[in-house]
Amino acid sequence: MESGSLSTPDFAKFTDKVVPYLHVTTHVEGHPGEELSKTYGIRGFPTLKFLDAEGQELTEPNGRDVASFQATQTNLAAYADLKRRVDAGEKGLGPKLLLAEIGLGKVKFPEAQARFAKMKKLKPAVKADLEVALLNSEVTHLLDSIGRDEEKSKEVGAKFAAMVAEKRIPTGDSAIMFWSLILNHAETTTDAKLYKKALDFFVGKFGDEKRYEGAIKRLKETYEKLQGEKIG
């Protein structure tokens, strides 16, 4: 990221409104920052998080570019305002608050789904926004359930394939892993048509970036092979 978003003029402007902090894991026993990985549940690198002035975790940005950082900051401010108004007794803000909480990862999918089910007489636009947010939350929930379990990964891949058949496609940051598992599932089941849908996603997202040329080429070769197997 040092040669990407963190080196842009936009990021420099963004840091005027926040206090950036970089922690480089050392694995040196006794180092004062060594426990940060455990404190914040860091499982991969780089990990990006928003913290408050007391060091409490607020959320993670839904992307690794400045636009995502700015959107997260805006969403945090909107959530804080909604929470203040709800706590003060203002009525009718439940759907908007739930939408903000889902977007910031402050509520897990099972709880969000249960709260949504209890909401009545929602405006069509609000209901549609919540349904999209819930779908993205469901995908994230399923991804989090995998861990290092290869069989679970296959199981979730099959569930994602079923979502595609139902035209339930996530739009959030988890879309990359969603389509990655579908690639694996489609290759295993020799489903060329499904594989093509996943291939189209990756070509659309990364096809113009030179560093992904080799990966895209390999995906296309696999698709051609699947077509041959289906025809043969």
Q: Kindly report the CATH number assigned to the domain that includes residue 38.
A: 3.40.30
- Residues 219 and 154 occupy one common structural domain: yes
For the stretch 18-45, pLDDT in tens is: 878 777 666 667 666 667 777 777 766 7
Task: Please identify, among 144, 166, 185, the residue that sits at the C-terminal boundary of a domain.
Answer: 144
Task: Please identify, among 90, 124, 156, the residue that sits at the C-terminal boundary of a domain.
Answer: 90
- Residues 157 and 217 occupy one common structural domain: yes
- Residues 83 and 111 occupy one common structural domain: no
Please count the structural domains in the chain: 3
- Residues 73 and 155 occupy one common structural domain: no
Find the Cα–Cα–Cα–Cα dihedral 216, 231, 190, 223, rounded to 10°: 0
Q: Where are the beta strands (DSSP E) in the chain?
A: 50-51, 57-59
What does the pLDDT average to over 162-169? 97
pLDDT of residue 22: 76
- Residues 38 and 105 occupy one common structural domain: no
Bridge partners of residue 59, in order along the sequence? 50
- Residues 129 and 191 occupy one common structural domain: no
For the stretch 59-110, pLDDT in tens is: 888 777 787 788 888 889 889 999 999 999 999 999 999 999 998 888 999 9
pLDDT of residue 35: 72
Query: In sequence order, what are the residues at sequence separation of 6 or more whose Cβ sits closer than 8 angstroms to the Cβ of residue 121?
Result: none
- Residues 18 and 2 occupy one common structural domain: yes
pLDDT at 231 over 50: no
Task: Please identify, among 90, 110, 130, the residue that sits at the C-terminal boundary of a domain.
Answer: 90
Bridge partners of residue 57, in order along the sequence? 51
Contact 101, 46 (CB under 8 A): no
Find the Cα–Cα–Cα–Cα dihedral 120, 125, 127, 132, rounded to 10°: -170
- Residues 58 and 110 occupy one common structural domain: no
Instruction: Give the separation between CA 31 and CA 61, rounded to whole angstroms.
Output: 27
Instruction: Give the separation between CA 232 and CA 226, rounded to whole angstroms.
Output: 10
- Residues 129 and 86 occupy one common structural domain: no
pTM, two decimals, is 0.78
For the stretch 170-214, pLDDT in tens is: 987 789 999 999 999 999 999 999 999 999 999 999 999 999 999
Q: Which domain holds residue 99?
A: 92-144
- Residues 110 and 131 occupy one common structural domain: yes
- Residues 97 and 85 occupy one common structural domain: no
- Residues 164 and 225 occupy one common structural domain: yes
